[in-house]
Amino acid sequence: MSLRHALLGLLVDKPASGYDLLKDFAGSLANVWPATQSQIYTELTKMAAAELITVTDAGPRGRKEYALTDAGLAELRHWLTEIPPNRPQRSDVLLRVFFLGVVDREQAREYLRGLAEKARQEHEELVGILERTDWEGGDLATYGRLALEYGLRFTDTRREWAEWAVDRIRT
Amino acid sequence: MSLRHALLGLLVDKPASGYDLLKDFAGSLANVWPATQSQIYTELTKMAAAELITVTDAGPRGRKEYALTDAGLAELRHWLTEIPPNRPQRSDVLLRVFFLGVVDREQAREYLRGLAEKARQEHEELVGILERTDWEGGDLATYGRLALEYGLRFTDTRREWAEWAVDRIRT
DNA sequence: TGGCGACATGTCAAGGTTGGAATGTAGGCT
DNA sequence: AGCCTACATTCCAACCTTGACATGTCGCCA
């Protein structure tokens, strides 16, 4: 149900069409809450019906620009402060770790080395974003920076853990 | 689709009924891949139809004990080594961080303090598991230990990040 | 022997998610 | 004028997940 709130959050900044929002989801937000085109358009329609957003402008090619209503902003604030952030985290990576005993040790180490390498790569990508972005702007920059820092620390921890795990599997 | 592989992984250790597996999912595996009763029974039926598992014993109260077939073990190994671990991570926590600008700074700090506290609690729970468990046993213990270590490091990183983030939001 | 709690499975509706197909327009370039 | 790319939306089938409902049995203890 959080796709709705992600869309509301993006519309705080400025009005946008489904197509605009789709691009936001392909960009920075993809790391936090991926969503597909069909999902976004469907959800926008439902949100308009619920009067959390309204169509404020129509452009060429049937473009509809949506803007937040007061009710939408209220809903976003409510979600931010009142709803417990509680969805249990699934991790197919960790699930595999649990069952690494069914392959031989060398394959297990290989898998963990792959995880370390992948974490390293992701970390570098985030460093790239850190360097390329201007963090002076408004709220989205401020809080986006916090989210990025989370990613930086998390990928680093993940790499260290995987390297530790490789070492721990001794013959 | 990984529920299937989680079930296969548990059945490597020993044959079990749906009820037995349900308890595994309520226990240690809940942190990694939560699943409900209906999902488990449905999936077991489908897996039996696909001959990844077979009914090896029938107990009282209609209990059906499933065991891995060769095809099941092969499928598990295949998934472990060949299939890229790729489901994108959703995080409603980070999503909220992105949009913290819509509430005032004190509320934002309060939210982050809550995250730090929650991370601290989770960390302590994991420490409890670490201390209460015998890590000498077979593969499940060995690799379960790796998964636990991941959790320990992750919750610690998360707490540090949240504390850092609180400090960073200055008036 | 009566009842309770744990054992044990099956089914269903509702909603979220994925991925793809279908459809069409506007604007820029050649 | 014709073509291509980017813009822009809608619909759908399939699958996963959640949570609830339904059904029934076994074994122990009072």
- Residue A22 CA to residue A7 CA, distance in Å, equals 10
Which has more pLDDT, A59 or A43?
A43
pLDDT computed for residue A142 by the predictor = 87
pLDDT computed for residue B171 by the predictor = 67
pLDDT per residue over A84-122, tens digit each?
777 778 898 999 999 999 999 999 999 999 999 999 999
Contact (Cβ atoms closer than 8 angstroms) between residue B56 and residue B15 = yes
Mean pLDDT of A119-148: 89
> What are the strands, taking DSSP E only, across A2-118?
16-17, 53-58, 64-68
Report the mean per-residue pLDDT for chain A: 92
CB distance A92–B85 less than 8 Å?
Answer: yes
B120 burial (CB, 10 Å; 0-12 / 13-18 / 19+) is middle
Domain boundaries, chain A: 2-82, 92-168
In chain B, residues 92-151 whose CB comes closer than 8 Å to chain A = 92-103, 107-108, 111, 115, 138-140, 142-144, 146-147, 149-150
Residue nearest to nucleotide D18 (CA to C1'): B36
From A71's Cα to the closest Cα of chain B, the distance in A is 14
Q: Would you list the DSSP string of B61-120?
A: GG-EEEEE-HHHHHHHHHHHHHS---PPPP-HHHHHHHTGGGS-HHHHHHHHHHHHHHHH
pLDDT tens, per residue, chain B with 171 residues: 799 999 999 999 999 999 999 999 988 888 899 999 999 999 999 999 999 999 999 888 889 999 999 999 999 999 998 887 777 788 989 999 999 999 999 999 999 999 999 999 999 999 998 998 888 877 778 898 999 999 999 999 999 999 999 999 986
φ/ψ (deg, to 5) at B103: -115, 165
From B166's Cα to the closest Cα of chain A, the distance in A is 10
The class that CATH gives domain B2-82 is mainly alpha
B66-CA/C2-C1' distance, Å? 35
Q: What is the pairing mode between strands A64-68 and A53-58?
A: antiparallel
Q: Which nucleotide is nearest to B61 (CA to C1')?
A: D25
- Residue A138 CA to residue B123 CA, distance in Å, equals 34
- B87 to chain A: which residues are within 8 Å by CB? 90, 92
pLDDT band at A171 (very low <50, low <70, confident <90, very high): low
Please, how many CA atoms are within 13 Å of residue A98, restricted to the half-sphere of its CB?
Answer: 26
Contact (Cβ atoms closer than 8 angstroms) between residue A39 and residue A3 = yes
From A107's Cα to the closest Cα of chain B, the distance in A is 8
Mean pLDDT of A39-53: 95
In sequence order, the β-bridge partners of residue A55 are: A66
- Residue B88 CA to residue B96 CA, distance in Å, equals 17
B95 conformational bin, left if phi > 0, alpha if psi -120 to 50, beta if neither: alpha
Residue reference for tokens 């449905």:
B42
